Amino acid sequence: MARVFVSSAIDVPIDMVWAEIRDFNALPRWHPAIVRSAIENSEPSDKVGCVRNFDLVDGGKIREKLLALDDVKHVCVYSILDSPMPLRNYVATLRLLPITDGNRTYIEWAATFDCAADVEKGLVESIGKDVFQAGFNALKRSLGT
């Protein structure tokens, strides 16, 4: 099983960061790789079990299911249902923790998945850099830090 883990610090309070990422349909507002997103069946974007269907800037399409959303622990867990990436059993967790020194936010994004051994290294690097870290960098710009 492959594992990706990326973390960072954002120089704004946790409530500001959570307000930006909590909406499961908000990726196009802050992630540079996403151009459009819609929640299927007109369900609320914070309903556990809802499915987001989004388009990537490169033309790819991904469907993901919200598995958990915790406003107290500031955690979002989701799985990939359909993707152009050659992977399966993908589950990711996006988690925030307060950094009390300076009222900042620690953010981590982790995922596990299965894939063929010959593509694992490339997928781990690509997801870590082009999805997770690129998302953090864009989120920081979106929040003015």
Domain boundaries, the chain: 2-142
* pTM metric for this prediction: 0.94
- Express each pLDDT in 97-131 by its tens digit: 999 999 999 999 999 999 999 999 999 999 999 99
User: What are residue 26's phi and psi, to 5 degrees?
Assistant: -95, 0
pLDDT at residue 145, rounded to an integer: 81
pLDDT score recorded for residue 70: 98
Give the 3-state secondary structure of residue 8: strand
* Ranges under pLDDT 50 in the chain: none
Strands of the 34-39 sheet, one edge to the other: 2-10, 104-114, 88-99, 75-82, 61-70, 51-56, 34-39
Q: What kind of architecture, by CATH, is found in domain 2-142?
A: 2-Layer Sandwich (3.30)
Helix (H, G, I), strand (E, B) or coil at 128: helix
Looking at residue 144, what is its pLDDT?
A: 86
